Amino acid sequence: MAKEKMSSVDTAWLHMDSTHNLMMIVGVMTFDTPINVARLKTLLEGRLLAYPRFRQYVTDDGMTAHWVDDEHFDLDAHLKRVRLPGAGGERELQAMVADLASERLDKGKPLWQMHLIENYLGGSALITRIHHCIADGIALIGVLLNMTDEDPNAPDTPRALPTPKSKIKKFTKAGGGGGLMASLGPIGEQLQANLGPLLQAFAPVAGVAQQAFDQLGPLKAPIESAIESAVEEGARIGNTVVAKYHRWVDDPTEAVDTAKLVAGFAQELAYLATMPNDTVTRLKGKPGTVKCVAWSDPIRLDRVKDVGYVLGCSVNDVLLASVAGAVRSYLVARGETVAPDALLRAFVPVNLRPKGKEYKLGNQFGLVALELPIGEANPVARVFEVRRRMTALKTGYQAAVSMALLGVVGYLPKAVQSQALGLFSDKGTAVMTNVPGPSRPLYLAGSKIVQNMFWVPQSGNVGVGVSILSYAGGVQFGLITDRKLCPDPEAIIGQFEPEFDKLITSLMWCEKGHVGADARAFDAMFATAHTEIGVADPPPAPRRSARKRAVRATAKR
């Protein structure tokens, strides 16, 4: 039997399974017509199983895990045909997704499974569960979309995996030691020469990072021990760094800029180790074992782009601000007092794959901690605050640091891994993904995909997962929660579009000087607007002249 050692980062995800949070990526596709089962099996065999991982199971001794070819692989064990109870509508589908999100995959088989729902609203639905150790969300979206076509009449022909040749040189570790710099070969020597004098200037920053590391207490020793045994992994990460910053290879004189990189890494490490918990709300706490799922109707993407254009913000800023507003509205409706400085920390995956390697399985992403301003009642101010925080994260190294930490944690015993990962998961409330999908409708086995959603798993004591996915001109919001902490995710989902509509309304009010209104005044204005406009009718879009004045007014903030 072929046997392959699992990477340390993937091993960390394998070991993160717990009774209240299973490390599965859960996806849902809905279709307007029933799927032809024979065609679906043909596509799975020719396009999904082309990836060896989907034919391999995992062996694990608690320290090291391996991929092993399944000589008795049976597709029927992974594709289940089921029917929804009752009316076979959205509520029944959401209940089935929640049940499956709470059910472990069989570790004696390859860690994935699909459930084909054959009676969903006159068409079909496909629920997919894939363990995170196989790949991250970015890679898996690519894998699943690789099974689709833009033409409903396209043949179900197999597709070979892309194997582009990298233009980045791979350096092997030089003899006689030298650690990570030596593993980078000639470029490492250049870095060593340039960084020597400059690193002394960053000694105070490194000292802060060391102090933060010391706060890990009993976990410090095993992590240090793991680092010593991770030289081989360090060389691999070093190659990734070279791939990401390939300008060093083309022009070694620019390697001096790495001094700033080292300082940035030290600062991010210090922040991650010392960052305080986010605001305590009913969404934060120790999860149970039962999940709840809900999703919204799509919002037109062009509307979101128009608002972003007026405010000078990205589509991402507008959507994340709407998420913050929806959570705020949910908490207020349930009697919670949301302070103006209240923050909800969401861990957001950031893709770290080199360009052209999006197809490659495994986990190649880092996490950044985005603090959503749920205490800000003014929708315009909320968008600007989200933009400010996102800009800071984009210019930092938090994602790369978190990925490196996962690589180190993957070498630890399973029990110590849980302790180490718990240090960070307790500091946040949600995991959030925002993935741009295809702009045109796609077809699977000849059936049109109407909706496309997926959720990444939550780890530790995080009990909320938010998914934002654009597809075919719309933006789809999805929410998965722990029933103990949030038994009614549909109540949050139901606030996404109203919060977006509030933002459009507020753009008109900018010209009347209401940009800086406090929370109570702003909520009162919206209550008045709902009375005047009517809840069923969305606010009108601002006129061109109003848009211009809104731009001038908001630019002053």
CA separation for the pair 533, 495 (Å, rounded): 17
The rounded percent of the chain whose pLDDT value lies above 90 is: 39
For the stretch 255-282, pLDDT in tens is 445 445 445 555 555 566 567 788 999 9
| Exposed e or buried b per residue across 217-230, where buried means at least 16 C-beta atoms within 10 angstroms of its C-beta | eebeebbeebeeeb
Top mean pLDDT of 113-122, 139-148, 507-516, 546-555 is at 113-122
Position 244 scores a pLDDT of 43
Position 480 scores a pLDDT of 95
Residue 302: count other Cβ atoms within 10 Å of its Cβ: 9
Q: Which residue has the higher pLDDT, 53 or 20?
A: 53
List, as one string, the DSSP characters of 407-438: HHHTTS-HHHHHHHHHHHHTT-SEEEEEEE--
| DSSP symbol at 76 | G
Residue 65: count other Cβ atoms within 10 Å of its Cβ: 20
pTM score, two decimals? 0.75
- Cβ 404 vs Cβ 367: under 8 Å: no
For the stretch 406-420, pLDDT in tens is 555 554 555 555 555
- Cβ 172 vs Cβ 186: under 8 Å: no
Position 199 scores a pLDDT of 42
Position 404 scores a pLDDT of 57
Q: Which residue has the higher pLDDT, 187 or 490?
A: 490
Q: Which residue has the higher pLDDT, 166 or 466?
A: 466
For the stretch 372-404, pLDDT in tens is 999 998 888 899 999 998 888 776 655 555 555
Give yes or no for residue 303 having a pLDDT over 50.
yes
Position 521 scores a pLDDT of 58
Position 507 scores a pLDDT of 76
Q: Which residue has the higher pLDDT, 395 or 470?
A: 470
Cα angle 276, 293, 501 (rounded to 5 degrees) comes to 75
Half-sphere exposure of residue 411: CA atoms within 13 angstroms, side-chain side: 19
- Cβ 242 vs Cβ 248: under 8 Å: yes
Task: Determine which of 48-57, 65-74, 389-398, 402-411 has the lowest per-residue pLDDT on average.
Answer: 402-411
- Cβ 390 vs Cβ 399: under 8 Å: no
Q: What is the dihedral of CA 519, 330, 505, 507, to 10 degrees?
A: 60
Give the E-state strand segments of 409-523 in sequence order: 430-436, 443-444, 447-455, 464-471, 474-482
Q: Which residue has the higher pLDDT, 266 or 320?
A: 320
Position 276 scores a pLDDT of 79
| DSSP symbol at 121 | T
- Cβ 109 vs Cβ 140: under 8 Å: no
Q: Is 177 exposed, middle or buried (0-12, 13-18, 19+ CB in 10 A)?
A: exposed
For the stretch 198-213, pLDDT in tens is 444 444 444 544 554 4
Please name every residue paired with 4 in a beta bridge, in sequence order, or none if there are none.
67
Q: What is the mean pLDDT of the chain?
A: 75
Position 491 scores a pLDDT of 96
